[in-house]
């Protein structure tokens, strides 16, 4: 049986940064994101008669810790399905890998869906979200389309994402691709370093939980302004917690900061736009879909050297094609 799944990256409006359990990937706080309609990852799984799993990403064989993460998810699916065939996993990203554009979120959401299908595991969305989480925390959210909240939970069973209904205006995310170079510190290591050494980490955890409650309320009431303000606050507080690490973790570059300023200037001129950034220098600007073109035009004026991609709310991870060998 060969199964192919497709998934899209998500961008957190309330960030996930820091784990309380590294093995189970339980986060220190809950988070909330928008799944996009750009940069899909397609993953095909073929069950083989070989004795080892094979993992190929964008044409290159993975080994060591990179393939270990994939094999962890495959092992969990094998355990749940009671089967033990090895798999050949072939994954193709359309976003530069590890550049802070959430490629791992799309990749592990696609992996969980493709693996459950290949091993004929009858998994509900919650189980798929928990499986994706074991590959990469943020992937728990890409199982769902649109807005999703990952509830931190207290154990494996209770830590999963769920979709949220948005009653506000149609959303867009303008992605400013400052750099597609691979990041110097992986988010996994940077996160660990922040947890272990930043004196601001406890304050981040405490305040982000409050932001999540407020964001959930803003989603329920369809309050775009509150959503935007909370989005910027969560992003800046996350980066502040990283600045306090030893040695510091600094993903934002001069261009990223200039983009945050340009977004603030847009707001001053009456266009509601709010900036966020993840484990990389790229800045994503949340705005109403109806304002996306003017946001691109204005940001291009301020920062002409940057490439802009407009994304909207996208679909959750799903099976793209199947064939029985």
Residue 159 Cβ vs ligand DP6, minimum distance, rounded to whole Å: 11
- Chain positions 136 to 155 lying near ligand DP6, rule: CB under 6 A, are 136-138
Which of 20, 86, 88, 188 touches ligand DP6 by CB under 6 A? 188
Segment interacting with ligand DP6, rule: CB under 6 A, options 45-53, 130-138, 264-272, 312-320: 130-138
Taking the least distance from each CB to ligand DP6, the nearer of 191 and 212 is 191
Q: How far is CA 226 from the centre of its chain?
A: 21
Cβ 246 to ligand DP6 shortest distance, Å: 19
Q: In residues, how long is the chain? A: 325
E strands within the chain? 2-7, 10-14, 19-21, 26-27, 31-35, 41-48, 54-57, 60-61, 86-93, 147-151, 160-164, 171-177, 273-277, 283-288, 307-312, 318-323
* Residues 264/258, Cβ–Cβ less than 8 Å: no
The sign of the CA dihedral 299, 305, 310, 314 is negative
CA distance 62 to 59: 9
Is 98 among the residues that bind ligand DP6 (CB under 6 A)? no
Note whether 111 and 73 are within 8 A (CB): yes
β-partners of residue 151 are: 160
Regarding 16 and contact with ligand DP6 (CB under 6 A), the answer is: yes
Choices 13-21, 49-57, 175-183, 204-212 (CB under 6 A): range interacting with ligand DP6:
13-21
Output the smallest distance, CB 33 to ligand DP6, in A.
Answer: 6
Of 5, 7, 25, 296, which one interacts with ligand DP6 (CB under 6 A)?
Answer: 25
Q: By C-beta, is 15 or 130 nearer to ligand DP6?
A: 15
Query: Which residues contact ligand DP6 by CB under 6 A?
Result: 12, 15-17, 25, 31, 104, 136-138, 187-188, 191, 278-279
């Amino acid at each position: 049986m060969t199964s192919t799944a497709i998934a899209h990256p998500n961008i957190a409006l309330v960030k996930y940064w820091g784990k309380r359990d590294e093995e189970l990937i339980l986060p220190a706080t809950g988070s909330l994101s928008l799944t996009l309609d750009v940069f899909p990852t397609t993953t095909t799984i073929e069950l083989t008669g070989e004795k080892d799993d094979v993992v190929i990403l964008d044409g290159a064989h993975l080994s060591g810790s990179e393939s270990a993460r994939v094999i962890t998810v495959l092992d969990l699916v094998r355990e749940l399905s009671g089967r033990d065939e090895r798999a050949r996993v072939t994954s193709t990203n359309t976003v530069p890998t590890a550049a802070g554009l959430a490629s791992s979120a799309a990749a592990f959401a696609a992996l969980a869906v493709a693996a459950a299908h290949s091993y004929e595991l009858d998994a509900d969305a919650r189980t798929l979200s928990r499986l994706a989480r074991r590959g990469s925390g943020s992937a728990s959210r890409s199982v769902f389309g649109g807005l999703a909240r990952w509830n931190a939970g207290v154990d494996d069973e209770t830590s999963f994402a769920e979709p949220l209904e948005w009653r506000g205006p149609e959303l867009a995310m303008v992605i400013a691709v400052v750099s597609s170079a691979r990041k110097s510190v992986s988010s996994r290591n940077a996160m660990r370093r922040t947890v272990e050494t930043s004196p601001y980490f406890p304050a981040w955890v405490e305040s982000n939980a409050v932001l999540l409650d407020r964001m959930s309320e803003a989603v329920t009431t369809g309050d775009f302004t509150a959503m935007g303000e909370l989005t910027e606050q969560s992003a800046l507080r996350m980066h502040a917690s990283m600045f306090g690490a030893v040695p510091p973790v600094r993903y934002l570059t001069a261009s990223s900061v200039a983009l945050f300023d340009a977004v603030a200037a847009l707001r001053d001129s009456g266009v509601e736009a709010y900036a966020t950034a993840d484990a990389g220098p790229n800045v994503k600007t949340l705005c109403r879909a109806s304002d996306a073109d003017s946001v691109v035009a204005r940001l291009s004026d301020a920062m002409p050297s940057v490439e802009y991609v407009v994304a909207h709310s996208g679909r959750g991870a799903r099976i793209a094609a199947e064939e029985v060998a």
